[in-house]
A = this chain, B = another copy of it.
Amino acid sequence: MARSDQRNGGQLPVTPPTLADVAERAGVSRQTVSNAVNNPDLLRPDTLERVRQTIAELGYSPNRAARNLRTRTSSLIGLRFAPAQEGTANAAMDRFVHSLVEASEEVGYHVLLFPGDDEDPVVGYDNLLRSTAVDAFVVTDTYLGNPQAAWLSQQRAPFVAFGRPWDDDEARHPWVDVDGAAGIRLATQHLIDRGHTRIAWIGWRKDSPIGEDRRSGWTQTMHDNGLSTTGLASRVEDVVHSGAEAAAVLLDSARPTAFVCASDTLAMGVLHTLWIRQLAPGTDVAVVGFDDSQVAQVFPVGLTSVRQPLEDVAVEIVKALRALLSHQPVTERGVLLEPTLAIRESS
């Protein structure tokens, strides 16, 4: 019985048709069918047409495993999927992952998710790498001291980072990042344009290079506009409670009319303090957050927030990935994208 006889109604065949089935049915060799799929230019138009017809009739699709084995590729991109931290507003990961899935699909890749082992952050990468389960990785958590990028580099594993190699001058891997300082400059200038002069900053602790970078956007814009920053800054942990406290302290001491925050989480804290003090956000005191999280969007008084162009980030990452995997000469090590400002009622 020919393989193609195993089809049954509208259902999928018991065992899907193979290249050989298509070849036999179309009266060509297997290689010709392969070419019709992968190098259509090599076929005469009429042959191509006939083969394509047969492929459609049989519902043929190349077996991934066989192709992967032969080509030593998987068309899979590995991404460690860490959960959004409970109690914080940052759900940027979700948006980014979706963008990455979309962008990958465009060029024939799929995204493979794997969990992170807290004790050994490298074990997940190692397993996938050694079993050649993925072609490359996208590394998202390039925080200070993260060993993954360095480890992957040392293994000569292809990967692109979302995030600059802040602490590592030796890093030679491609990366894509969002210019946080530029985002905060946008936010600060926006507030200045609205007439504010006493604009406070609530950011993270000093050991966060991302936080310091964002902070510099505030400092710079203030100074560029001839405004003082003295006594207007606070560095706290990234939780609502800390943001609220910092806002209370600043309101009592420096009496700012506006707050720029390193995150939406902190901005929520500010809004809480305003609420307690019967101050109207946007009217009495302006507030700007960072990440344009769902919280910013859904909050009754819409929170103005810096929005990362995650869709573009994903596109750039996939672009870099392709260059990496096709061994093209690397033109640029890093790409820095500009965020935008989602303006709402809070400013």
Contact = CB atoms under 8 A, between A and B. Distances in A.
A293 interface: yes
Interface residues of A, number: 67
B295 A271 contact: no
Contacts of A66: 69
Interface in A99-129: 101-102, 105, 110-115, 127, 129
B76 A112 contact: yes
A321 B111 CA distance: 20
Q: Considering residues A93, A94, A271, which has the most beta carbons from chain B within 10 angstroms of its beta carbon?
A: A94
A19 to B, nearest CB: 12
A317 B259 CA distance: 45
A256 B297 CA distance: 27
A204 B276 CA distance: 32
A89 B294 CA distance: 6
A89 B60 CA distance: 42
Contact of A294 (B88, B131, B154, B155): B88
Contacts of A294: 84, 86, 88-89, 91, 293-295
Interface of A: 10-12, 16, 59-66, 68-69, 72, 74, 76, 81-84, 86-89, 91, 93-95, 97-98, 101-102, 105, 110-115, 127, 129-133, 154-157, 240, 244, 264-265, 268-269, 271-272, 275, 293-295, 297-301
